[in-house]
Each structure stands twice: as C-alpha cells, then as structure tokens.
Amino acid sequence: MDKGVAFPTCVSVNESVCHFSPLSDDTTKLKLGDVVRIDLAVQFDGYISNVAHTVVLTDKVIDGKPGDCFACAQSCLDAAHKLIFAGNTNTQVSQAWEKIASTYGVSLCEGVLSHQLKRYVIDGSKSIILKSQPDQNVDEFVFGDYEAYSIDILVSTGAGKLRETEPKTTIYKRNPEVQYHVRLKSSQTALKALDREFKNLPFSLRGLEKDVRFGLNEIRQNGMIDAYPVLSEKKGEFVVHFKSTFLVMKNDTLRVTGQAPQSFKSEKVLGSDFIKAVNDAKANKKKVDKMEIESH
C-alpha cells in the first residue's frame, strides 16, 4: 500500500510560527531559550494523521504569559476532545475556544482552520475556525460518525495576527481544480512526478529531484500549485502550536496523535461551570435528541 509523508516536516523557531520546512543547505542552529514548533503528517493508503508540538529549549517550568499560552492551548485541545462528536457543531467548538482564550488572557491566532481529513485530502471542506472575525468565518456543519479531523491550535501572547515573512516558502500543494496544458517538457515531467508521488498532498522542495524543481516555474505561474507561506508573529511574542488528529467513532471520539507538553504553570483557571458544560455536552445532546424523538 502507498504510505509516506502527508505534510513535510516543519521546524518553526521563535517568531516564525508555521510552515518553515528548511532546505538541506540551511545552517540555522538552535540555542537555549528558543521556542521550537514541529509540525508534520503521515499517510497510509491515503489516510492521514497530523501532529504539531511546541518545545521550549529550557529545563525550567514555563510560567507567566508563556505558561498561560500552554495552558490555553492544552485546554483547547481537551475541549475539542469533549465537544467533537456526532450531532454537535463546529460553531460550538469555536465558541468554547474563544471562552478559554479569554479566561487565560491570551490570543488565538487569526486565520487558522482545523480541517476534516479525507483520503488523500488534508484540507477537507468541513472546517473549524480557531478565531472568528467579521471578515473570517466558516459555514456551520454537524459532525458525523466515522469522520477524521486535524485540530490546529495556535495561541499567542501578542495579537495573534500572523503575517507572511521571509524565508520564502518551500512547501506547495497541487491544486486539482486548475487544469492547464504546460508547454515546456521540463514542466510536463515535473507535473507527472508531482501527480505520481504526492497526488493532492503537500510537498517540500527539499524532497524533489533537480529536474522536477527546474520544471516548477511554469506550473507555479499558472496556479497549478498553491504555496504554504511561512507565517510569523510579531518579534518577541510567544506562540504555542499544538495539533492533534481526532477520529469521531460511533460511541467515542479518539485523539490519536499528540503528546503531553513540558512542565508549565498558570495562575489562571477555567470556571467550574464552563468545565461542567463541556464535560456534560455529549450527555446533554443525547438527552435533547431523545426528547425530540419521543415528542414525534
């Protein structure tokens, strides 16, 4: 069966938040105190599993505003685990995330979407927005049984307004909706290689042969591949990035990727009423459904 990388390994350091997948000639060295975000995905027979984790290069307990970011990100994942089930909506998940961020006094990053995973599709049409904005929102939908989701959480001590920065992107994804007859032989060779090796999944320039790289210009210029730009927060701000894959099963939701964060502490705590509401969400939904069935 086909198996391999579904999203190239990214190692984004400090204000560089995501999508930095260095080429083999990169000489950057990590140092004490750096904040390192690692993001990747694998696939087996086209079925995808994502993960992202944040590590601070220190042996100290992370506290203060950075500790609040860790607490918020972890709480957002925990809430998603409770709230993503058949019959619930993506809007309810987003609203819970906003309440959590407000409690911890930190910012959810704008423009971040969590997507449904399908076979060979890493960014399905069903999506959950991390932070709703007047000009940034998604259609509401209801979760169903036997669906998979990549839940993407980015929390910042700053405003959470990520911007495109240097270095230039090294990650692209084939856009199947754009069809164009490339003229150059090198472009034709490159296009065949991309469709054969990656299908619709993202790829890094690092993994391409020289002749394939050479043929990308015409493909890129005609919109046949989409770029994943390197996104950064304002310098000096602290950002935590967690990502986990969730499977919505018939009687339970499974979190199949991710690991416990390093030691952190926060002086802020979620309210008991909010925690109870999240914990009881599934039971309450079943109760409402039963009442509706009986009324009919």
Q: What would the pLDDT profile of 82-106 be if each residue is shown by its tens digit?
A: 999 999 999 999 999 999 999 999 9
Sheet with 225-227: list strands edge to edge: 203-204, 171-174, 225-227
234, 223: one domain: no
Q: Mark which of 227, 252, 271 sits at the end of a domain.
A: 227
Q: What is the number of domains present in the chain?
A: 2
> CA angle at residue 157 from 151 to 158, to 5 degrees?
100
- Provide the token pair at 253: 């939701």
The pLDDT of residue 293: 47
75, 216: one domain: no
The pLDDT of residue 290: 53
The answer to whether 152 and 90 have CB atoms below 8 angstroms apart is no
**Residue 207's domain is classified under what CATH number?**
1.10.10.10
The pLDDT of residue 126: 97
Strand ranges for 96-146 from DSSP E = 107-108, 113-117, 127-129
Q: Is 160 strand, coil or helix? A: coil
Q: Residue 229, preceding bond cis, omega within 30 degrees?
A: no
189, 240: one domain: no
The pLDDT of residue 295: 54
Range of the domain at 26: 3-166+229-295
236, 222: one domain: no
Chain position carrying tokens 């950064």: 232
Distance (Å, whole) CA 68 – CA 185:
54
159, 236: one domain: yes
49, 129: one domain: yes
32, 148: one domain: yes
Range 183-188 contact pairs with CB under 8 angstroms and sequence separation of 24 or more: 183/218, 184/215, 184/218, 186/211, 186/214, 186/215, 187/215, 187/216, 187/217, 187/218, 187/219, 188/215
Q: Mark which of 187, 210, 227 sits at the end of a domain.
A: 227
**Residue 245's domain is classified under what CATH number?**
3.90.230.10
CA 188 to each of CA 172, 180, 216: distance values in angstroms, whole numbers, following the listed order: 17, 11, 9
The pLDDT of residue 288: 55
Taking alpha carbons only, the member of 145, 147, 146, 120 closest to residue 47 is 120
Rg, the chain, Cα only: 20
100, 219: one domain: no
209, 220: one domain: yes
Distance (Å, whole) CA 205 – CA 228:
12
The answer to whether 130 and 156 have CB atoms below 8 angstroms apart is no
DSSP state for residue 205 in the 8-state scheme: G
Low-confidence ranges of the chain (pLDDT < 70): 286-296
Q: Mark which of 201, 227, 253 sits at the end of a domain.
A: 227
Using one digit for the tens of pLDDT, what is the confidence trace for 222-245?
A: 899 999 999 999 999 999 999 999
87, 144: one domain: yes
